[in-house]
Structure 1
Amino acid sequence: MLIITLQYIPYNTDVAFLRIKQDVIDIPFYKITFFTHVYTAMFVLPAGLTQFSAYIRKHYAELHRITGWIYAFTVVILAGPSGFYMGVYANGGMISQIAFCILALLWIFFTAMAIVRAKQNNFKSHREYLIRSFALTLSAITLRAWKYILVFLFEPRPMDVYQFVAWLGWIPNLIIAEFLIHRFNNGHIPDNKLKKL
């Protein structure tokens, strides 16, 4: 993800993904939201990963708290809303647009609920919502993985690819997250194992 982000530094509007977005690049706020979304990805992934480290929580509680707030603030205030705005103009037409907008709304909701549950000292529910949130964060990676797989196996038309990966990029992630939460709640996954995910 860092390599992808670096393509847009400095402020480049004619590289990589933006080459196929020249028809919307000058729409008010699109550039702002795009670069907000791309640049904040550098913080969301590593900050989110630290939340699942039992070692960091135990030995560096303040770091856990700080990175947690960085993650939550970035998703709820910056990356989530900018992702929603970009979703309105997503490649692949309405099928893709609906998928990306739902993804953004769920991402904001799950992250906000993780904050609420932490404030309520309901850390079991806090962790469940954080797992869901981070599963959607990982869609930045899984979406690209699915794109390569589909192109390699089926060689579909470019816009068809976007319609598929718009959903495949996050729905399987969320299903896996719910599966892990369910197994944990039913005692199939030891607490220390889930903490290391």
Structure 2
Amino acid sequence: MNAKDAGFVTIKLRKPDFALEPWVYVLYAHIVTAVLAIVIGPFQLFWKPVGLKGIRRHRLLGYLYVLSISISGLVSIYLSLYATGGWRAGLGFFTLDVLWMAATWISVKKIIADKNIRKHKEWMLRSYSLTFAAVTLRLLLPLLLLVYEGNFIPAYQTVAWLCWIPNLLVMEIIIRYRK
């Protein structure tokens, strides 16, 4: 499949000032690194490291997770400037990207500088809830297309916010309930 044939891209190519390159390469970088973070997250969150070998594995996967989010978050800021749906969608994705990187790096600080395992876990839970926005977007977008009677732009503007705000709110409730 040619990138120019993808649904998001065909909408973008209608704009005379949109250049497919370098945007498409930045998109590929975002996809690869975000998928890596989505895959690594459950291993980090749900399997407790046991012994020195387990701790080393946890750290290595943690470094990969943080690197993936750092790269994906930075390139996603660029992508948010060209978001389908204009500034409404772009602002939703931009806010997600900033919060995603912030939650991740706060978690790193909590474990490295503060040696606070509980706070590290809490911030990583927030980070992964934002990572999971990619999945939530794909689940909600078809429903929103029904709500907006197939009109893609308003559905996409809405999903740019709904893909991450409920995730973060639910995770915040879980974190507070666990205390």
The TM-score, its normalising length taken from structure 2, stands at 0.88
What is the root-mean-square deviation of aligned Cα atoms in Å? 1.7
Does residue 58 (structure 1) correspond to residue 18 (structure 2)? The answer is no
Tell me how far 1:54 sits from its aligned partner.
3.2
Tell me how far 1:123 sits from its aligned partner.
1.0
Q: 1:15-57, CA deviations, whole angstroms, 9 ceiling, x for partnerless residues?
A: 4333333343436x423321110121231111111111234x1
Q: 1:151-170, CA deviations, whole angstroms, 9 ceiling, x for partnerless residues?
A: 23442411111111011010
The TM-score, its normalising length taken from structure 1, stands at 0.81
Match of 1:20 in 2: 11
Structure 1 stretches lacking a partner, 5+ long: 1-6, 186-197
Tell me how far 1:171 sits from its aligned partner.
0.3
Q: Which residue identity is paired with 2:130?
A: L
Match of 2:125 in 1: 131
CA distance in 2, matches of 1:53, 1:61: 14
Match of 2:168 in 1: 174
CA distance in 1, matches of 2:117, 2:108: 10
Q: Which residue identity is paired with 1:44?
A: A
Match of 2:158 in 1: 164
Match of 1:140 in 2: 134
Q: Which residue identity is paired with 1:160?
A: P
Does residue 39 (structure 1) correspond to residue 32 (structure 2)? The answer is yes
Question: Greater shift after overlay, 57-66 or 40-49?
Answer: 57-66
Greater per-residue helix proportion: 2
Q: Is the 8 A contact 2:77 2:94 kept in 1?
A: yes
Tell me how far 1:116 sits from its aligned partner.
0.7
Question: Greater shift after overlay, 15-24 or 144-153?
Answer: 15-24
Percent of aligned positions with the same letter in both sequences? 30
Q: Is the 8 A contact 2:26 2:75 kept in 1?
A: yes
Q: Is the 8 A contact 2:148 2:154 kept in 1?
A: no
Structure 2 stretches lacking a partner, 5+ long: none
